[in-house]
Structure 1
Amino acid sequence: MATIKWAVDPMHSEVQFKVKHLMITTVTGYFQRFHVEAETADEEFTSANNVVFTADVDSINTNNEQRDTHLKSADFFDASSHGEIRFTGSNYESVGGDQYKLHGDLTIKGITKPVTVNVEFGGIVVDPYGQTKAGFTVTGKISRKEFGLTWNAVTEAGSVVVSDEIKLQAEIQLVKQV
């Protein structure tokens, strides 16, 4: 059977992250430019492989220009030297129903670590233009320090400014390539 190729529909997808600030509130950020590709043996996504996600670090947006500039600096992502975040999925594992685990390697700031994300498969439909589309909700958590994102500060009371744990969430719509 021929391999089916899929690519992201950026108009119907989003990638965000959440991090605790001062350990009392959560700041949400987005990557405005990203790409996802996948290959499957069938349209049911039970055999997904070669899943590749990339995000352009320069497209980070937390709705605060000063914070975004700091995140792009060497204190965090070092966008001038490491302009891309990359996840390469190698094992798409069913955990029952429409729930899956996607195991792969995440590279941030030149450091690659194994990561597993949760994937909820939303299904497949043909849109009004005849395009076959598949939908997914992806969630996970990573330690930013494991990827060399170690900048922090301490408040007068001894609290850290930025938590280590980063929550990831993405709504991804893929389009079958013909």
Structure 2
Amino acid sequence: MTVQTLASDDIHTTASFAIRHSGVSDYRASFNDVHATLVTGDAPQLSGAVDVASLQVKNENLYGHLMSPEFFDAENHPQITFTSTGIQRGADGAVALEGDLTLRGVTQPVRATGTWSEVEADITGAPRIGIDLEAAIDRTAFGMAWNAPLAGGETVLGDDVALLVHVEFAAPAAA
């Protein structure tokens, strides 16, 4: 298999998360500045980075709190990074990744599952790969311990966070 290094098509690449809020719903937010690199071949490798300050939320006060040391600590840790340590692809398009996620300067192993799709030629004539992934992390393992109690024993935030990443990689168009 030919080895290529592909960059993400950032217009078609997203990273988001969901966390239980007040015990009644899942709060969702996303990042605008997401970049990834995929090395293809028999032993593919994926790495990516998210600019923490690109977080999109609907409230300025909430944004400030999330950028603070109680959550992302963006001033000291401006990026979230992921580096794969193993990628297993199934014949049916299923994919499983093992890798290291670094958030707030803390690196933890994470496993993500999803789908891997390829086309030989997109609208520009270039090969394109799409990878959709889901993973779950415990935010407290990364030092995000802020919480507040609610009446009835619930807390404002759950500890489990669902991560969703959708990335498209495009090879340079043939000359």
The normalised TM-score by structure 2 is 0.92
Within 5 Å, which residues of 2 pair with 1:74-93?
Answer: 74-93=69-88
Query: Is contact 2:13–2:34 with CA below 8 Å preserved after alignment?
Result: no
Identity across matched positions, percent: 28
Structure 2 counterparts to residues 13-32 of structure 1, below 5 A: 13-32=13-32
8 Å CA contact 2:21–2:158 kept in 1: the answer is yes
Aligned-pair distance for 1:2?
A: 5.3
Show CA shifts across 1:96-119 (max 9, x none): 521111001000001001111003
Aligned mate of 2:51, from 48, 56, 63? 56
1:114-164 deviation per Cα after TM superposition (whole angstroms, max 9, x unaligned): 111003012224222222211111111000000111111111332100110
Structure 1 runs of 4+ aligned residues shifted over 3 Å read: none
Q: In the aligned structure 2, how far is the partner of 1:64 from the partner of 1:102?
A: 34
* Partner Cα distance (2:60, 2:169) in 1: 30
2:101 equivalent among 99, 106, 113: 106
Q: Which of 103, 118, 121 does residue 123 from structure 1 map onto?
A: 118
Structure with greater strand share of residues: 1
RMSD of aligned alpha carbons: 1.6
Tell me how far apart the structure 1 counterparts of residues 101 and 48 of structure 2 sit (CA, whole Å): 9
Cα pair 1:53 1:86 within 8 Å, conserved: yes
Q: For 1:145 and 1:165, locate their aligned partners in 2 and report how far apart those are by CA, in whole Å.
A: 9
Give me the whole-angstrom Cα distance separating, in 2, the residues matched to 1:14 and 1:66. Answer: 23
- Which secondary structure state, in structure 1, belongs to the residue aligned with residue 64 of structure 2? helix
The one-letter amino acid of 2:142's match is F
Matched position secondary structure for 2:108: strand
Cα deviation 1:31-66 (Å, max 9, x = unaligned)? 11011001012xxxx6312x1110001011132222
Structure 1 length-normalised TM: 0.91
Counterpart amino acid of residue 14 in structure 2: E
